[in-house]
A = this chain, B = another copy of it.
Amino acid sequence: MPRQVREQQIIDVAVRVFAQRGYHAASVDEIAELAGISKPMVYLYLDSKEGLFLACLRREAARLVAAFQEAARGAGAAPDLRLHAGLAAFFAFVAAYRDSWVVLHRQASEPSERIAAAVADTRRAVMAEVAGLVKDGIDDVTGGEGRGARLGAEDADFVAHALVGAADSLTDWMERNPGQSPESVTVRLMNMVWVGMRGVLDGEVWLPDG
């Protein structure tokens, strides 16, 4: 069995086990056994437990970002449609590869500096992607004319954070409402966020004192 194939097999299993047990509770012995291989092979190919986890992280992060970017790129020029396509791709990805998402994001207290850095990088990449689309959307709606409220890059960043967090949480909601398709969830979320943003840009502010 050639090395490249074996490596992918090991990573396949590792993503599953890390997602199920978490980094610390996962044991290399178990991963090796489930991969139908002995432990030293894992160390020969992936160097260490941390290296194995980083390999999982890198592969799944690349997959997710690629899915998002391709969807957004292939959705024409309108920012709302691009954001919609990106979010739809995200939900579809999470629905299809639940373990990947868990490994990427739910790895709470990071076990090492390098892993923490890798997770932060992924998060930053996703966030920048979303914030970019939101910013385009703001500029598109504002279109130079002075609308009610001015929203800038900082606001786009704020919305992006809210959006990504909402999407993550809605992952659970999808699991508990199995009738809902990723597509319908996406449209619902767009309705909340996009309509709200458009409203704010039109000057429809909400304030605690009326």
Cβ B165 vs Cβ A168 within 8 A: yes
- Bound together, the chains give a CA A192 to CA B166 distance in angstroms of 12
Q: Is A208 an interface residue (CB 8 A)?
A: yes
Q: Which of A145-175 contact B (CB under 8 A)?
A: 154-155, 157-159, 161-170, 172-173
B164, B190, B199: the one within 8 Å of A199 (CB): B199
Task: Bits for A20-58, please: 1 = Cβ < 8 Å to B, else 0.
Answer: 111111000000000000000000000000000000000
Sample of 17 A–B contacts (CB below 8 Å): A22-B108, A107-B108, A161-B173, A162-B189, A164-B169, A165-B165, A165-B167, A168-B169, A190-B208, A192-B196, A192-B200, A193-B196, A195-B196, A195-B199, A195-B200, A195-B204, A196-B199
A95 to chain B, nearest CB (A): 15
Q: Is A125 an interface residue (CB 8 A)?
A: no
Q: Is A106 an interface residue (CB 8 A)?
A: yes
Q: A22-B22, A196-B197 are in contact. Are A205 and B191 (CB under 8 A)?
A: yes
The 3 closest A-B CB pairs, nearest first, are: A165-B169, A196-B196, A24-B24
Q: A161-B172, A188-B158 are in contact. Are A21 and B109 (CB under 8 A)?
A: yes
Number of interface residues of A (CB under 8 A): 53
User: For the complex, would chain A's binding face be called helix, strand, loop or mixed by DSSP majority?
Assistant: helix
A113 to chain B, nearest CB (A): 13
- Residues of B near A190 (CB, < 8 A) are 206, 208
A194 to chain B, nearest CB (A): 5
Q: In the complex, which residue of chain B has the Cβ closest to the Cβ of A106?
A: B108
B19, B84, B163: the one within 8 Å of A208 (CB): B84
- Residues of B near A163 (CB, < 8 A) are 166
B106, B168, B188, B197: the one within 8 Å of A109 (CB): B106
Q: Is A98 an interface residue (CB 8 A)?
A: no
- Bound together, the chains give a CA A29 to CA B22 distance in angstroms of 22
